[in-house]
Amino acid sequence: MNKINGYTEEEAKRLVDYVSTGKKSGKSLSGLFASYAKKTGRAKGSVRNYYYALLRCTGDSRVRSLLQGTELKAGKIIPFSEVETDKILKEILIQKSKGISVRRAVLNLSKGDDKLMLRYQNKYRNVAAKQPERIERLMRECGLKSGADEARARIEEEINGLYDRLAASLKEENKRLTTLLKRLTDENSLLRLQIKNLQG
């Protein structure tokens, strides 16, 4: 069997046995992914992604052999409707606007369901990459500043900062020149007085 996410056939068998045994004893998939990741030194997300990728390889006879008698199967995925997609994206964008990462936002939305979390995350990334205008529209609908608005505000802030620095610099230069002019005026007056005394 070709490697999937870097796993060999032997590693695949170990994961299938581990998950199958764990599920029979009532453990959750999320918990099993976490414990298997800890046991093997892999990332939980990598274990989860590999597991679902493996379950989808039903056309491979070796995969079917690995899964035989385990009752492990990937449920049929029903795509999100456009309304559901907008609702999910709005929730993620609202959380993002509060400083929460996309990863944490999808974890909050999925209530710890790894499979759902992955679907939410993939949906967000896919729309953000392929339909940025949709993200902009949803941000406006939520009353959030869009990426373009934030960029514009940042540029204005930088221009204002530059103006303030230039104004302060000119003020200092003006002050220095005023002081210099006063000193030169005083010196000039003193010289005139000295010349007058010498002539008198």
> Taking 90 as the threshold, does the pLDDT of residue 90 lie above it?
yes
> Is position 106 within any domain?
yes
> Is position 187 within any domain?
yes
**Final residue before a domain boundary, out of 100, 115, 141:** 141
Query: Looking at the structure, do residues 88 and 135 belong to the same domain, yes or no?
Result: yes
CA 74 to chain centre: 28
**In total, how many domains does the chain have?**
3
Helix (H) or strand (E) holding 57: none
> Is position 158 within any domain?
yes
Tokens for 145?
Answer: 């500043």
> Is position 113 within any domain?
yes
pLDDT tens for residues 115-126? 788 889 989 998
Separation CA 12–CA 141 (nearest Å): 45
Q: What is the pLDDT of residue 193?
A: 86
Query: Looking at the structure, do residues 167 and 126 belong to the same domain, yes or no?
Result: no
Question: Range of 91's domain?
Answer: 82-141
CB 55 within 8 A of CB 47: no
Separation CA 153–CA 149 (nearest Å): 6
pTM confidence score: 0.46
